[in-house]
């Protein structure tokens, strides 16, 4: 049994920005400058499909598993000495196209999570294959579970059977459904008794859809530690494991959680 009281603080840097439409090289250059401002963080989070914007042109835009953006992400993690994460369009080894989150560590190793819930209202399910596995990661002893955008709407997939300390969402969540984003994120924090960090983009995409941002970090009671609103920038937050442990001890609702299995 872990004693999370003994975990060090976790420093997050969340990058909220506009994205160049379908232009990976421009986005890599843009983020490289922003990553300099994130130095000193343990974990740096970029938006969903950070190299292209939220695109359905999977065949034209997909990179191989060790393509230029994947390699770039690993280089940045090493250069900044932090985990850097965000999703991009990948053609997997089996030939399928994936909305894949990469978790690039400073030591050069990379883990990945493939988005499970594909946004059918934009036809994502016709252009990408869904993932079927959750990913639980350790960073400084913290247990972190990354998810992608539309996954937020599905509480069973977000529900915690793992003792997750930080639930992480990377997104391109449109302004038209901003209210849903701002209501669902606190719910996920409260029901899972964990911190939640969520990174969104701003600006308009190539199809004219606006994004309102609202990148945020919430504590285990759904209280905001950060809300970036519509501002562009690098936003930093310190998470304290001792406060999470104390709340779970005072209010151990997880002891009465229902057993379930995901198939």
Residue 160, both tokens: 């915690």
Residue 261, in any domain of the structure: no
Residue 200, in any domain of the structure: yes
Q: Which range has the worst mean pLDDT, 81-85, 89-93, 161-165, 209-213? A: 161-165
Residue 161 confidence (pLDDT): 64
What is the separation, in whole angstroms, between the first and last Cα of the chain?
A: 27
Whether residue 260 is predicted with pLDDT greater than 90 in this model: the reply is no
Residue 222, in any domain of the structure: yes
Residue 259 confidence (pLDDT): 84
Residue 64, both tokens: 């191989």
Dihedral-angle region of residue 87 (phi above 0 means left; psi in -120 to 50 means alpha; beta otherwise)? beta
Q: Are 201 and 47 in contact (CB under 8 A)?
A: yes
Residue with token string 């937050």: 237
| Residue 248 CB partners (closer than 8 Å, separation 6+) | 193, 220, 254
Residue 172, in any domain of the structure: yes
Determine the number of helices (DSSP H) and then strands (DSSP E) in the chain: 7, 15
pLDDT tens string 240-250: 999 999 999 99
Residue 235, in any domain of the structure: yes
Residue 263, in any domain of the structure: no
Residue 4, in any domain of the structure: no
DSSP H helices, 128-177, are: 155-158
Range of the domain at 39: 9-256
pLDDT tens string 55-67: 999 999 999 999 9
Burial class (CB in 10 A: 0-12, 13-18, 19+), 232: middle
Dihedral-angle region of residue 81 (phi above 0 means left; psi in -120 to 50 means alpha; beta otherwise)? left
- The CATH number covering residue 111 comes to 3.60.110.10
Q: Is-catalytic flag, 149? A: yes
pLDDT tens string 102-138: 999 999 999 999 999 999 999 999 999 999 999 999 9
Domain count, the chain: 1
State the catalytic residue, choosing from 55, 63, 149, 194: 149
d(C-alpha 161, C-alpha 219), whole Å = 19
Burial class (CB in 10 A: 0-12, 13-18, 19+), 120: exposed
Radius of gyration of the chain (CA): 17
State the catalytic residue, choosing from 55, 115, 124, 194: 115
pLDDT tens string 227-237: 999 999 999 99
State the catalytic residue, choosing from 48, 55, 63, 124: 48
Kindly state the percentage of the chain with pLDDT values over 70: 99
Q: pLDDT-based confidence at 257, cuts 50/70/90?
A: confident
Of the candidates 107, 29, 93, the residue with the CA atom closest to the CA atom of residue 64: 93
Q: What is the pTM of this model?
A: 0.97
Q: Is-catalytic flag, 48? A: yes
Residue 139, in any domain of the structure: yes
């Amino acid at each position: 049994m872990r004693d999370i009281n003994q975990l060090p603080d976790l420093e997050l840097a969340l990058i909220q920005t506009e994205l160049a439409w379908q232009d990976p090289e421009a986005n890599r250059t843009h983020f490289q400058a922003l990553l300099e401002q994130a130095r000193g963080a343990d974990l740096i989070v970029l938006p969903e499909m950070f190299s292209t914007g939220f695109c359905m042109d999977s065949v034209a835009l997909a990179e191989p598993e060790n393509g230029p953006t994947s390699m770039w992400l690993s280089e940045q993690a090493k250069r900044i000495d932090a985990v850097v994460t965000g999703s991009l369009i990948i053609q997997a080894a089996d030939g399928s196209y994936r909305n894949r989150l990469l978790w690039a560590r400073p030591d050069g190793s990379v883990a990945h999570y493939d988005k499970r819930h594909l946004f059918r209202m934009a036809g994502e399910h016709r252009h990408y294959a869904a993932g079927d596995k959750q990913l639980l990661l350790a960073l400084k002893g913290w247990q972190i579970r990354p998810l992608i955008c539309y996954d937020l709407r599905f509480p069973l997939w977000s529900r915690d059977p793992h003792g997750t300390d930080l639930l992480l969402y990377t997104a391109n969540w449109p302004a038209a459904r901003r209210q849903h984003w701002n209501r669902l994120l606190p719910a996920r924090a409260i029901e899972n008794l964990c911190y939640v960090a969520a990174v969104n983009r701003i600006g308009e995409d190539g199809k004219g859809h606006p994004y309102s941002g609202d990148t945020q970090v919430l504590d285990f009671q759904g209280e905001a530690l950060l809300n970036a609103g519509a501002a562009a920038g690098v936003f930093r937050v310190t998470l304290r494991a001792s406060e999470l442990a104390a709340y779970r001890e005072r209010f151990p609702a997880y002891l009465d959680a229902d057993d379930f299995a995901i198939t």
